[in-house]
Amino acid sequence: MLHRHGQAVEAEKTPDTAHLREAGSPPPAPPCAMVIFGAAGDLTKRLVVPALCNLAQAGQLSGQFRLVGVDHNTGSAEKWREKLAAAMHDFVVQGGESNVNAVDQSAWRWLSERMSYLQGDVNDPGTYTRLRDHLAGLDKTATTAGNYLFYLAVADRFFAPAVAQLGAAGLATETERQWRRVVIEKPFGHGLLSAKALNAEILKTLKEHQIFRIDHFLGKETVQNIMALRFANGLFEPLWNRQQIDHVQVTVAETIGVEHRGKFYEKTGALRDMVPNHVLQLVAMTAMEPPISFDADAVRSKKTEVLQAIKPMDQAQALRDAVRGQYGGGTVVSQNLPPYRQEPYVEPNSTTETFVAWRFSIDNWRWAGVPFFIRTGKRLRRRSTEIAIRFRQAPFALFRGTQVGQMNPNWMILRIQPDEGIALEFAAKRPGPVVTLSNVSMDFAYKNYFKAAPNTGYETLIYDCMIGDATLFQRADTVEAGWQAVQPILDAWTDNSPSDFPNYAAGSDGPAAADELMARMGRMWRPLA
């Protein structure tokens, strides 16, 4: 019996994958059939199936695991396998998100032998009847134990109908020995009201413990390490408060544009796409109170409390404290690129934002008076996701009469990607008879200490779904708290169209208004370059 994140996992005998596991690695997940709706989609090819392949390579899937693809496209299991194999090869060649140099052929054969395909429309009740019969057949031949994991890799408009159809077909009903779980991708709503409505709809069919609202950001090892850094080290936790911290910056910067997702992005924008989920989850893990255990609900309750404590804004405050931008033409990594308005499927006079900066406060005892600054955008100078914690300035009195002109700031930098690690920046005296200070850095890089397993960011999350550990997934109240925080900005921007788009060049650090947002409080963004 292994306890992981407070969950008990039965170790099982799987002779065909046991040789793949390293000493101390988790045991295989329990037997189950995983059903992917949207089997021919980009998400399935680019992230989900490569993640399953990596789990197979690590020996973390049961020998009785089965994978069922459901899609409206005509096809067969053999054709599905061929398309997936070709797509994974292309992503490896192009340096895709799988973080591998080559597809492990042994793991791929193991996985592909366990794949089947079912053609069907997600809105057609007959699809779910055929799926129920297909799964019943797998239960007899593969001993999947009647455990089903349904993955909704489909457009968000299908989330509620698909869950309702699963319920109508009896596929969502659990017993003491058989679990049924549903993975739901983002966007989980497009605002507070739609998020509440979606939660209400799916909770008519499923219980909260069956719902896994996935955010691949939280599958990254360095994000999970935020809690280990804070709560496993007596060195840092006493400093993690308003008495010691001046402000916090969270940056999620991308060099890519919208690629070929113009239709989606025009309806979404940077705020909806990134802030209520990815960015605020980073904020929550940084600012949460210590949970009493790693039990899923203990951790999620503390994260939800942080989001609920974000100070509400009226429209005037939202317009003052939130900045939006849209990229124009420019140069990124020596490549000349067009403006957002010339991207495929984008309106020529689009007012959709591709950049967001926001200043807010968390109104609780730990963080009162500490400003939080977040920024996220596309076509920026450098790809970087980091959490930067600026500590309060030390008194200058001791250094009067020396050549020290000012005190250097102290920073802790949590780098999420691409160079995962942690840095501490502080002042040290330069050698010599004169007292002068220089900034120095103590830098820890994960790649120098730990062997990085191939990953897409989904491996941990999919494995957790199979063992029933919901720690890294958002609860209904967490999702709604995130939307509650940003809804005033959405409302204010709807009522006030921008007149200055595009307002930053591709390859820059973002619009000048984002710098002004910081300058009004006497702060500066850490440079991206």
- Exposure string of 371-409, with b = 16+ CB inside 10 Å and e = fewer, is bbbbbbbbbbbbebbbbbbbbeeeeeeebeeeebeeebb
228 phi and psi, to 5 degrees? -65, -40
State pLDDT tens for residues 202-252: 999 999 999 999 988 787 776 778 888 888 898 888 999 999 999 999 999
When comparing pLDDT for 10 and 236, which is higher? 236
* DSSP assignments along 332-394, one per residue: ETTEEE--GGGSTT--TT----SEEEEEEEB-STTTTT-EEEEEEESSBSS-EEEEEEEEPPP
Question: Please, where are the H alpha helices in 117-275?
Answer: 125-142, 159-168, 192-202, 221-231, 262-274
Of 94-103, 248-257, 273-282, 304-313, where does mean pLDDT reach its minimum? 94-103
| Identical topology for domains 2-185 and 219-452+476-519 | no
- Using CB atoms within 10 Å of the CB of residue 94, give its burial: 0 to 12 exposed, 13 to 18 middle, 19+ buried: exposed
Closest residue by Cα to residue 286 from 220, 410, 372, 357: 372
Mean pLDDT lowest among 187-201, 269-283, 342-356, 420-434: 420-434
Per-residue pLDDT tens digits for 381-426 = 999 999 999 998 876 545 556 655 566 788 999 998 888 889 998 7
In the structure encoding, which two tokens stand for residue 442, read together? 């103590």
Mean pLDDT to the nearest integer, 181-199? 95
pLDDT band for 140, please (50, 70, 90 cuts): confident
Residue whose C-alpha is closest to residue 145's, from 111, 113, 181, 178: 178
**pLDDT for the residue numbered 378:** 97
- Looking up tokens 């001791």 gives 398
Looking at the whole model, is its pTM more than 0.85? Answer: yes
| Average of per-residue pLDDT across 341-367 | 97
Fold annotation for 219-452+476-519:
Dihydrodipicolinate Reductase; domain 2 (3.30.360)
The single residue of 5, 216, 247, 278 carrying the catalytic annotation is 278
CATH 3.40.50.720 for the 2-185 domain, yes or no: yes
Residue 258 has pLDDT above 80, yes or no: yes
Once rounded to an integer, what is the mean pLDDT over residues 34-58?
93
Percent of the chain with pLDDT over 70: 87
> Rounded mean pLDDT of 163-178?
95
Quickly state the pLDDT bin for 102 (edges 50, 70, 90).
low
Q: At residue 175, does pLDDT exceed 50?
A: yes
Domain chopping of the chain, boundaries: 2-185, 219-452+476-519
pLDDT tens-place string over residues 118-134:
999 999 999 999 999 99
Whole-number pLDDT of residue 24:
57
176 pLDDT higher than 70 = yes
Q: What is the C-alpha separation between 45 and 493, in angstroms, rounded?
A: 35
Q: What is the pLDDT of residue 373?
A: 98
Per-residue pLDDT tens over the stretch 271-287: 999 999 999 999 999 99
Q: What pLDDT does 4 receive?
A: 44
Mean residue pLDDT across the chain = 88
Identify the residue with better confidence: 459 or 88. 459
Examine the residue annotation and report whether 278 is marked as an active-site residue of this protein: yes
pLDDT score, position 401 = 60
pLDDT tier, 97 (very low <50, low <70, confident <90, very high otherwise): very low
Question: What are the tokens at 91?
Answer: 């992503």
For residue 220 the two structure tokens come to 């990254």
Confidence at residue 10, expressed as pLDDT on a 0 to 100 scale: 40
Task: Determine the Cα–Cα distance for residues 49 and 52; give it in Å rounded to an integer.
Answer: 5
pLDDT band at 192 (very low <50, low <70, confident <90, very high): very high
pLDDT band at 315 (very low <50, low <70, confident <90, very high): very high
Is the pLDDT at 146 greater than 60, yes or no? yes
- Cα separation of 289 and 200, whole Å? 28
**Cβ–Cβ under 8 Å, residues 248 and 373:** yes
- What is the pLDDT at residue 477? 97
Report the candidate in 413, 354, 426 with the shortest Cα–Cα distance to residue 384: 413
Work out the average pLDDT over 369-380: 97
The mean per-residue pLDDT over the stretch 448-463 comes to 83
pLDDT at 19: 44
How are beta strands 7-9 and 2-4 bridged, if at all? antiparallel
Mean pLDDT of 494-504: 94
Q: What pLDDT, on a 0 to 100 scale, did the predictor assign at position 455?
A: 76
